[in-house]
Chain A
Amino acid sequence: MSLASAARAALPPLLVFLALLGLWQLACSALALPAYLVPTPAEVAREAAAHVGELAQAALLTALGALGGLGASLVVGGLVAVLFSQSQTAARSLYPYAIFLQTVPIVAVAPLIVVWFGTGLQSVVLTAAILSVFPIITNGTTGLVRVDPQLLELFAMSDASRLQLLLKLRLPGSLPYFVAGAKISGGLAVIGAIVGEFFAGFGADELGLGALILQTSGRLQTAYLFAAIFTATLLGLLLFGLVALLGELALRRWRGRELAVS
């Protein structure tokens, strides 16, 4: 996508955003809502500017937790997917528990994680990992198992071993599936990190976005709270964009666009 077409694509949502801001500002002054209930965009902006250091630091801490969780998801989810693809028995007996990871209410488990692992980054990472691992497992397993039968026969003609099949066919062939899974997991990891910080983000000198959101809402610093929420949203977008970009680069290489001379 060229820069010009990217700008053209970004223009309509940007206009909608500006229109919404205008409406919001109008509604606040027309209805004379108190600032502790609904601050105006201007007040949110002022508050964000006043706390830009804290917000940036909080975003950095949350990003660390989310990236750590996503990294752990990729490693653990990748290994589980390989296990599932190699053993029907393992897949059949463990898959229900993988679903459990997706269906368990993370806000209910997060306090337990804090009980076991204490407050701090490790518990935030763990919460983010639990929430984001499932798409990696399912997408990865699908990619590893779904192989063109003709390619399996091609490898059978060379009497390829299971390990050769895995390393030279299944793993490289499943890259698009892992990338698709990672894109979903990236957003989930941010949510997981923020939820994790609700419970595990206290006690440290620095607060993550989750802890900041709880603290500002408790103190009725609503404009600051809004600023924190926007920062969290921005962080989610940023992480999704990062994962999508890295995935696209990997896929481009995979498709041979930038294949090195062998």
Chain B
Amino acid sequence: MTEPAPAPHIEARGLGVQFAGGVQALSGLDLVVRRGELLALIGPSGCGKSTFLRVAAGLAPASAGTITVAGEAPERARARRAVAFVFQDPTLLPWRSLHANVRLPLELARAPKAEQTTAADAALALVGLSEFAAAPPTALSGGMKMRASLARALVTRPELLLLDEPFGALDELTRERLNDELLRLWERDRFTALAVTHSVAEAVLLGDRVIVLSGRPGRVVADIPIALPRPRRAALIGSPEFAAIAADVRAHLRAAAPPDPSDLPVRT
């Protein structure tokens, strides 16, 4: 079967975002995310990576340029339940069981009860948390909470998954496990995914491409295709070809970061 030319899923042209306080978070950002692509977004802290995700989710308005998701305004794509967001924190509601947390998006969309139950069952099974369906979030480890958060995001079977440094607070081993989990889920359903991260290794492991943003105001300064074959797993991180690509990405990231007065003498 020949694949059709991948259509753009997110298309940002000359995107600018200015906050109420006058801070320019993004400026002149051009980025196309193709359908089915897993894209990693990396950049110096405060460069507006998270802001870009929020604009793509329709949670924050753009102040200049245009952005479309599946050819329509971000809020409209979101309203079709076609976009899901995974936050930095697990953001589970402590008074709800895991199952009740995972079915929340469908409950808010007033989906039929039976659909809510079966979809939440399936999503929990997908991340290996079926036996904890009735457990409260307080009974879970950090990694399990994040898994549940992933399950909740996938419960509506979204076309686009936006991830905002979702595993940043976890220890390294748990983080690698969750990266594998995300890769497995993505290989299975091939949704479009845009993952913001501050880890070069994570960006290279996940991304078909790694997009490097400049310091504030953020714009795209490098678009690096990652030639590593798929399926990829976190075990790859130790390999020499991985290290070479990571070094390349790191060099771009360093160039993008605003100069730090403490390393002035170093010039290459």
The verdict on B170 contacting chain A, using a C-beta distance below 8 Å, is no
1/0 per position for A149-177, CB-CB distance to B under 8 A?
A: 01101111111100010001100110100
Indicate whether A164 sits within 8 Å of B108 (C-beta atoms), given known contacts A151-B91, A154-B91: yes
Q: Once the chains are docked, how many angstroms separate the CA of A151 from the CA of B81?
A: 17
1/0 per position for B90-112, CB-CB distance to A under 8 A?
A: 01011111011000110111000
Q: Once the chains are docked, how many angstroms separate the CA of A33 from the CA of B59?
A: 76
In the bound complex, do residue A175 and residue B87 qualify as a contact, i.e. CB atoms below 8 Å apart?
A: no
In the bound complex, do residue B57 and residue A157 qualify as a contact, i.e. CB atoms below 8 Å apart?
A: yes
In the bound complex, do residue B108 and residue A168 qualify as a contact, i.e. CB atoms below 8 Å apart?
A: yes
Complex A-B: 5 CB contacts under 8 Å: A158-B108, A169-B93, A173-B95, A256-B135, A259-B136
In the bound complex, do residue B105 and residue A157 qualify as a contact, i.e. CB atoms below 8 Å apart?
A: yes
B87 to chain A, nearest CB (A): 5
Query: What residue of chain A has the Cβ atom nearest to residue B84's Cβ?
Result: A157
B145 to chain A, nearest CB (A): 12
1/0 per position for B217-252, CB-CB distance to A under 8 A?
A: 000000000000000000000000000000000000
The verdict on A230 contacting chain B, using a C-beta distance below 8 Å, is no
Indicate whether A154 sits within 8 Å of B95 (C-beta atoms), given known contacts A159-B79, A259-B136, A262-B100: no
The verdict on B138 contacting chain A, using a C-beta distance below 8 Å, is yes
Checking B84, B134, B136 against A257 with a beta-carbon cut-off of 8 angstroms, the contacting residue is B136
Q: Once the chains are docked, how many angstroms separate the CA of A262 from the CA of B135?
A: 9
Q: Once the chains are docked, how many angstroms separate the CA of A155 from the CA of B91?
A: 11
Q: Once the chains are docked, how many angstroms separate the CA of A164 from the CA of B104?
A: 11
* 9 extra A-B contacts, CB within 8 A, seeds A151-B91, A172-B93, A256-B137: A148-B89, A157-B59, A159-B108, A168-B108, A173-B95, A253-B95, A255-B94, A256-B138, A261-B97
1/0 per position for B121-156, CB-CB distance to A under 8 A?
A: 000000000000111111100000000000000000
- Count B-side interface residues using an 8 Å CB cutoff: 32
In the bound complex, do residue B139 and residue A256 qualify as a contact, i.e. CB atoms below 8 Å apart?
A: yes
Task: Write the residues of chain B forming the contact surface with A, with a CB cutoff of 8 angstroms.
Answer: 54, 57, 59, 78-79, 81, 83-85, 87-89, 91, 93-97, 99-100, 104-105, 107-109, 133-139
In the bound complex, do residue B57 and residue A259 qualify as a contact, i.e. CB atoms below 8 Å apart?
A: no
Query: Could you say which residues of chain B place their CB within 8 Å of the CB of A262?
Result: 97, 99-100, 133-134
Checking B83, B100, B138 against A157 with a beta-carbon cut-off of 8 angstroms, the contacting residue is B83
Query: Could you say which residues of chain A place their CB within 8 Å of the CB of B104?
Result: 154, 158, 168
In the bound complex, do residue B94 and residue A256 qualify as a contact, i.e. CB atoms below 8 Å apart?
A: yes
In the bound complex, do residue B59 and residue A256 qualify as a contact, i.e. CB atoms below 8 Å apart?
A: no
Query: Could you say which residues of chain B place their CB within 8 Å of the CB of A175?
Result: 95
Query: What residue of chain A has the Cβ atom nearest to residue B120's Cβ?
Result: A262
Indicate whether A155 sits within 8 Å of B108 (C-beta atoms), given known contacts A150-B88, A255-B136: yes
Query: What residue of chain A has the Cβ atom nearest to residue B107's Cβ?
Result: A168
